[in-house]
Amino acid sequence: MRKHTERFIEWRQGLNGWLYRHSWQLAAVLALAVLAAGVYTLWPRPAAPVDSPAVISADDVEAAQERTVIVYVSGAVRHPGLYTLGSTLRISDAIVAAGGLLDDADPNCLPNLAAHVRDASQIAVPLIGHCAKGKKAKLDINSATREQLLRVPGMDAALADAIISYRQDFGGFVLLTELKSAMGLDANTYGELAKSLTVN
């Protein structure tokens, strides 16, 4: 037992001596370990990838805008205001969206109910007695009936029938001047008809 104690004392003294002789080396190793840990902790790491928001192309935006229009419905309707409507709808649909006509709306001075809605346009429905004086509404050549066409000054039955046939064959008039180019009207007759007709 005494021998083991003596050996332990000798071993501890030897270890102390070795540590004393190599203390600067141990300190250097410890310093390097601390430095390495600090560098590892502070070293910048790449950020986690972030999902980018979905990109909407200009074509998608333009297509969406083409599908809807904003119109202002005013006058003798139940709920005047701005309305967003499908671009394929008509003036009559805009008036329905605004709650319909009031009882005192002027039925003889309504806008063309068959015309398509157009973006940023105003649809004014006048009250009885408030129709614009001296301004006679023109008849839309693309939606007028045969009877309405016959009431236009300068119109005869043959021309009214030709206009209706042209609408059926070609889907309607794009310009009023097609009365001259497609119907072969002379300048005088066209000038008289143009006072009462329009294209919507």
Q: How many domains does the chain have?
A: 3
| pLDDT on residue 182 | 85
Per-residue pLDDT tens for 123-160? 999 887 777 655 567 889 999 999 999 988 889 999 99
| 123 closest CA partner among 68, 75, 85 | 75
H-helix or E-strand spanning residue 125: strand 122-125
Per-residue pLDDT tens for 77-114? 999 999 999 989 999 999 999 999 998 888 878 888 98
Alpha-carbon span 139 to 154, nearest angstrom: 14
Question: What's this model's pTM, rounded to 2 decimal places?
Answer: 0.40
With respect to residue 9, please indicate whether it lies within any of the assigned structural domains. yes
Q: Could you tell me if 128 and 156 lie in one domain?
A: no
| pLDDT on residue 138 | 85
With respect to residue 41, please indicate whether it lies within any of the assigned structural domains. no
Q: Could you tell me if 129 and 159 lie in one domain?
A: no
Per-residue pLDDT tens for 7-39? 656 656 665 565 556 565 655 556 566 666 665
Alpha-carbon span 101 to 115, nearest angstrom: 17
Alpha-carbon span 4 to 15, nearest angstrom: 16
Residue 81 belongs to domain spanning: 59-135
Beta strands at 68-75 and 81-86: parallel, antiparallel or unpaired:
antiparallel
Cα dihedral sign, 166-171-172-178: negative
With respect to residue 38, please indicate whether it lies within any of the assigned structural domains. no
With respect to residue 124, please indicate whether it lies within any of the assigned structural domains. yes
